Amino acid sequence: MDLGTATARELAQLLRTRVVSAGEVVAAHLARIEAVNPRVNAIVTVCAEMALARAAELDRAIVQDGPSGPLHGLPIAHKDLVETAGVRTTYGSLLLADHVPARDHLLVERVRAAGAVLVGKTNTPEFGMGSQTHNRLFGATRNPYRLDRTCGGSSGGAAVALATGMVALADGSDMGGSLRNPASFCNVVGLRPSPGRVPDVPTDDAWFDLAVLGPMARTVDDVALLLAVMAGPDRRSPGALPEPGGHFDRDLGRDLRGVRVAFAHDLGGLPFEPEVLRLFSAQRAVFERLGCAVTDAEPDLADADRIFRILRGWHLVRSLGTVVASDDLRVAPMVRENLAFGRTVTAADLAWAETRRSRLVERAGDFFRAHEFWVLPVSQVLPFDVEQPWVTSIAGVPMPDYLAWMRSCSLVSTLALPAIAVPAAFSSGGLPVGIQIVGRPRDDLGVLQLARAFEEATGAGRRRPPLG
């Protein structure tokens, strides 16, 4: 078995039964990083010596005490926005090029306690801004299916590392599509969990729920495995959901006959590339074959775009306003422009956004009484030129700024619902296209179940990139 293409669950079984050692698994993935990473630039800090030492420690421990946890010996990479004690965490910025945190994020603590082995940090746009993974510190991460195309973002390094077999599992974060978009562009799975499902500790903004942390993997089952470790309450996180993470480590099989699925049209008039719509429309038959009751419907998303922009702008200034000066030329223009907008947000703007978001969520609640799931495209476009900062036009419709081309994800973010991107098809040019499944409030399990059935029915996720 190729240890780089085996699923995380397959590797976990081999490690538990001692068919392979953690040292062998980690060494194989480090060799894969050495061979492939120079071509795609997905992992920006490699922790080879640390990873091998950790693997040796796990191999000694399993002899006496058994596996260290459900992720025993599995290679993982953390997004370069996630604090890792003793390991450089740059946020993709020249300002923090030498930043080495003194403590781990809770997410890092949990996966390590479950037996995972940190092999590196994955690339992200500066401070995670944008759905194209490039920055001045490390450069661009390339799509492994076509090296001249973008991998999406902001969890683009994670998606590419998974697609190319450099890691078994990875984490990401998502405010406007940063888990879902790169998963779609790289033919892997990315779950945006319900707000509070994965506690964000430490944070300076404990009540902000537009941004979430979540798992990424090559299969839905592997995403559920990682979610089971990442999720669960923490008394330091006031918005953390109470269910224990182990709730998700289960057989995801489900009888879907009669389950009501709403199939999206155009999200209130958003433009889409014709091939994206063609491939998306073809997936309706998959849900019908699964026995779902599929109807054409989508929630009323009026005001969602402005709500997203106001809350996002306020949050960026809240979190970065003291770190990034408005005239600091070391920071990319995109970052400065976003902060400049955030500094214009007033108390009246915030009041409007919170009021309108309350109405938006209420309308979505009514919609999800009639439908258990909502299915829509992940992205409005196919993966584009890696040298292009953002999409300026879709189907002849000009995009006013770099946020506009990803509204198929960012509008969903305002609803505070779980959403997953799962591989669906390939374009005529061989580029991956994912589908987005949105569930009822806090029904992360249901989203995983439907995604797992869809994944099995299409088999699109089994197609790996043509890298040697």
Q: Is residue 468 domain-resident?
A: no
How far apart CA 93 and CA 154 sit, in angstroms, is: 13
How far apart CA 416 and CA 422 sit, in angstroms, is: 19
Mean pLDDT of 22-50: 98
**Residue 1 confidence (pLDDT) above 80:** no
In the prediction, which pLDDT does 217 show?
98
Q: Is residue 309 domain-resident?
A: yes
In the prediction, which pLDDT does 348 show?
98
Reported confidence tier of residue 325, pLDDT bands at 50, 70, 90: confident
In the prediction, which pLDDT does 468 show?
62
Q: Is residue 266 domain-resident?
A: yes
Q: Is residue 15 domain-resident?
A: yes
In the prediction, which pLDDT does 156 show?
98
Going by C-alpha positions, the residue among 429, 432, 411, 431 that lies closest to residue 421 is: 432
Q: Is residue 51 domain-resident?
A: yes
**CA angle, corner 431, sides to 92 and 278, nearest 5?**
120
Q: Is residue 76 domain-resident?
A: yes
In the prediction, which pLDDT does 354 show?
98
* DSSP symbols for 293-345: EEEE-----TTHHHHHHHHHHHHHHHHHTTTS-TT-TTS-HHHHHHHHHHTT-
User: 58: helix, coil or strand?
Assistant: helix
How far apart CA 291 and CA 283 sit, in angstroms, is: 13
How far apart CA 137 and CA 16 sit, in angstroms, is: 39
**Residue 169 confidence (pLDDT) above 90:** yes
Mean pLDDT of 271-279: 98
Q: In this structure, are residues 413 and 210 in contact, taking their beta carbons and an 8 Å threshold?
A: yes
Q: Is residue 201 domain-resident?
A: yes
**CA angle, corner 49, sides to 48 and 53, nearest 5?**
115
Give the Å distances, CA to CA, from 356 to 133, 174, 305.
32, 22, 11
Mean pLDDT of 436-446: 98
User: Which CATH number does the domain housing residue 332 bear?
Assistant: 3.90.1300.10
Of residues 322 and 436, which shows the higher confidence score? 436
Q: Over the stretch 182-217, which tens digit does the pLDDT of each residue have?
A: 999 999 999 999 999 999 999 988 999 999 999 999
CA-CA-CA-CA torsion sign (415, 416, 417, 420)? positive
Mean pLDDT of 301-315: 98
Contacts with 281 (C-beta within 8 Å, 6 or more apart), sequence order: none
**Residue 374 confidence (pLDDT) above 90:** yes
**Residue 323 confidence (pLDDT) above 90:** no
Domain that holds residue 66: 8-462
**Residue 322 confidence (pLDDT) above 90:** no
Residue with tokens 């189907």: 395
Looking at the 3D structure of the chain, how many domains does it have?
1
The amino acid occupying position 323 is V
161 membership: H or E segment, kind and range: helix 156-163
What does the mean pLDDT of the chain come to?
97
Show which residues are catalytic: 79, 154, 178
* DSSP symbols for 249-283: SS------TT-EEEE-SSTTT----HHHHHHHHHT
Q: Give the largest Cα separation in the chain, rounded.
A: 64
Reported confidence tier of residue 467, pLDDT bands at 50, 70, 90: confident
**Residue 246 confidence (pLDDT) above 90:** yes
Q: Is residue 3 domain-resident?
A: no
In the prediction, which pLDDT does 327 show?
81
